[in-house]
Amino acid sequence: MKNERRDFLKKTGLLGIGGFISPFSVFSENQQKRFQFQQNSYLIKEACVLSMDEEIGDFNSADVLIENGKITRLGKNIEGPSYTEIINAEGGILIPGLIDCHWHLWTSLLRSMAGDSAEEGYFKMTARYSRLYSPEDMKLAATYAIAEAVHSGITCISDYNHNARSPQFVQASFDAMAAMGIRGHISYGTYRDLPDSQPTDFKGINELKQFIDSNSKYKGISLGLGSRSVNYNNLEKDWKHARDLGLRITIHASSNESQKGQITSLFKKGLLAEDVNIIHGNAITPDEIKMLEDTGTSLTMTPYSEMRIGYGLPKINELYEANINCCVGIDTTALTGNAHLLDTLKMLQNLANANAKDEFYLHPKEVLKMATINGAINLGIDKKTGSITPGKSADLVLLKKSDINFSTGNKPYHLAIEAALQENIDMVMAKGKILKYDGKLTGINAKDLIIQAKNRFAEMEKEIN
């Protein structure tokens, strides 16, 4: 198996990528070329496939043919063109690439920095550091976060940028996603010390949208509005402007008891719709759940950050029992510490069963939906990704069953949610390109990225002190 892997890496140009890194980027010119130098055709053989496509169903053992970035065939005994690279996945579990529907990527340099006093709390801490960032820092932080995301099986991220001090601060996330090869959605928000009297930067939003739309390198990465708070005076005007531009809208609402009723306020203003992503909703009421149902509004839970900051427990049972498109996100590693999204799903399943006092209340397939097809629906890309379906993008995660913690058992959904760790993620593919193989990131020198992130954080810490 080791020789097979080595031969595969040699053929695809993935072996030995850890070469010279310029001090300004974790991608040297030579690496950028090699990052793009990957095969256009792969055949994944004999994987247990959890398709998340209700019409297709699951397979105990099947082959998946990928050509030019898309899944073209799914079934048994498939043969590809002669130039197709074979990936032996026998005994492994293949799932769609995970979709994170809420993350503040720029805060990744501030890992676990939310402290133990009011002055060190998440909001005040991030406000202090936010003023020190440059567009280059924003790109470094986004790259650092995306590298961890790929390591964790995430192939699509909805980044809510609330350090949007200029279009360049937001473009940084686009550049990082494009360089890393993932799919994404980036919400142009505000920044922590923006006065309420200052209008939303639609001039910058327009400028960035025109630039993104005219540049093919950003294909698969969309722009949205990171809305101001429910109580903002010009909220309705902002949302109309965003919708006129075709932007999806993300807003934090009813996050805790002090914000109770915010979803009702949005509903009464006629703002809720399928293009809206409500974040948190820990204080959502039964009436508000019905409002989301009736309008097709999605809701994203970020349970680890919500519990860590004291918002309370997510209303997983009430939301699951309603006809709401529920999704999940990391939110910020300043609170969560890491980006292990499968572990987030495990926690939600366990919390739901505990609340119901029923071992069989929530099947792991239902929480996996939240990070795959539900996420795609939330972002309006369910025709392109979110399931292992012929014609969709090859956004895939292969879990190997050869590690000490992940080797026995034959219930794939339970194993993927309850047992899998980040190190069990053997391969990650986004848009048909392999971003992680044999447990290692392929297109980036992780050691150099870590050094750059640590050094920049140390510099900012000195400035803060």
Spatial neighbors of 25 by CB under 8 A, at least 6 apart, are none
CA dist 28 → 31, 101, 295, 329 (Å): 5, 30, 47, 31
Please give the torsion angle defined by the CA atoms of residues 291, 297, 302 and 307, in that order, rounded to the nearest 10 degrees. -10
Q: How far apart are CA 379 and CA 371, in angstroms?
A: 12
**Would the pLDDT of 398 be above 70?**
yes
Residue 407 binned pLDDT confidence (cut-offs 50, 70, 90): very high
Q: Are 142 and 159 in contact (CB under 8 A)?
A: yes
For residue 50, the number of C-alpha atoms closer than 13 Å in the C-beta half-sphere is: 26
For range 89-107, the mean pLDDT = 98
Identify the pLDDT of residue 465.
Answer: 87
Identify the pLDDT of residue 9.
Answer: 40
* Long-range contact pairs involving 357-366 (C-beta distance under 8 Å, separation at least 24): 361/317, 362/316, 362/320, 363/413, 364/413, 364/414, 364/416, 364/417, 364/418, 365/50, 365/413, 366/320
For range 205-225, the mean pLDDT = 98
Q: Which tokens in the block code for residue 360?
A: 């069989």
For range 151-169, the mean pLDDT = 98
Q: Which of 75-84, 221-230, 328-337 has the lowest mean pLDDT?
A: 75-84
Identify the pLDDT of residue 322.
Answer: 97
**Would the pLDDT of 460 be above 80?**
yes
Q: How far apart are CA 274 and CA 197, in angstroms?
A: 29
Higher pLDDT, 11 or 346: 346
**Would the pLDDT of 182 be above 50?**
yes
Q: Concatenate the DSSP letters of all residues of 129-183 into one string.
A: HHTT--HHHHHHHHHHHHHHHHHTTEEEEEEEESB-SSHHHHHHHHHHHHHHT-E
**Would the pLDDT of 303 be above 70?**
yes
Q: How far apart are CA 193 and CA 85, in angstroms?
A: 52
Percent of the residues in the chain that have a pLDDT greater than 70, as a whole number: 92
DSSP one-letter code for 337: S
Higher pLDDT, 20 or 331: 331
For range 34-45, the mean pLDDT = 70
Percent of the residues in the chain that have a pLDDT greater than 90, as a whole number: 90
Higher pLDDT, 30 or 295: 295
Identify the pLDDT of residue 18.
Answer: 31
For residue 90, the number of C-alpha atoms closer than 13 Å in the C-beta half-sphere is: 4
**Would the pLDDT of 273 be above 80?**
yes
If you search the block for the tokens 């010119």, which residue do you land on? 29
Identify the pLDDT of residue 2.
Answer: 38
Q: Which amino acid is at 152?
A: S
Identify the pLDDT of residue 40.
Answer: 86
Identify the pLDDT of residue 319.
Answer: 98
**Would the pLDDT of 4 be above 90?**
no
- Collapsed DSSP state (helix, strand, coil) of residue 23: coil
Identify the pLDDT of residue 176.
Answer: 98
Average pLDDT for the chain: 92
DSSP one-letter code for 89: -
Secondary structure element (H or E) that encloses residue 261, with its range: none
Please give the torsion angle defined by the CA atoms of residues 419, 423, 424 and 427, in that order, rounded to the nearest 10 degrees. 140
DSSP one-letter code for 429: E
pLDDT in tens, 229-260: 999 999 999 999 999 999 999 999 999 999 99
Give the relative orientation of helices 167-180 and 135-151 as an angle to the nearest 10 degrees: 30
For range 288-314, the mean pLDDT = 98
Spatial neighbors of 59 by CB under 8 A, at least 6 apart, are 47, 48, 49, 51, 74, 75, 76
Higher pLDDT, 17 or 248: 248
User: Among positive and negative, which fits the CA dihedral 257, 258, 264, 270?
Assistant: negative
Domains of the chain are: 2-96+388-442 (2.30.40.10), 98-378 (3.20.20.140)
- Secondary-structure breakdown of the chain: helix, strand, coil percentages, each rounded to the nearest 5: 40, 20, 40
**Would the pLDDT of 174 be above 60?**
yes
pTM above threshold 0.85: yes
For the chain, the C-alpha Rg in angstroms (whole number) is 21
Q: How far apart are CA 217 and CA 178, in angstroms?
A: 6
Identify the pLDDT of residue 38.
Answer: 57
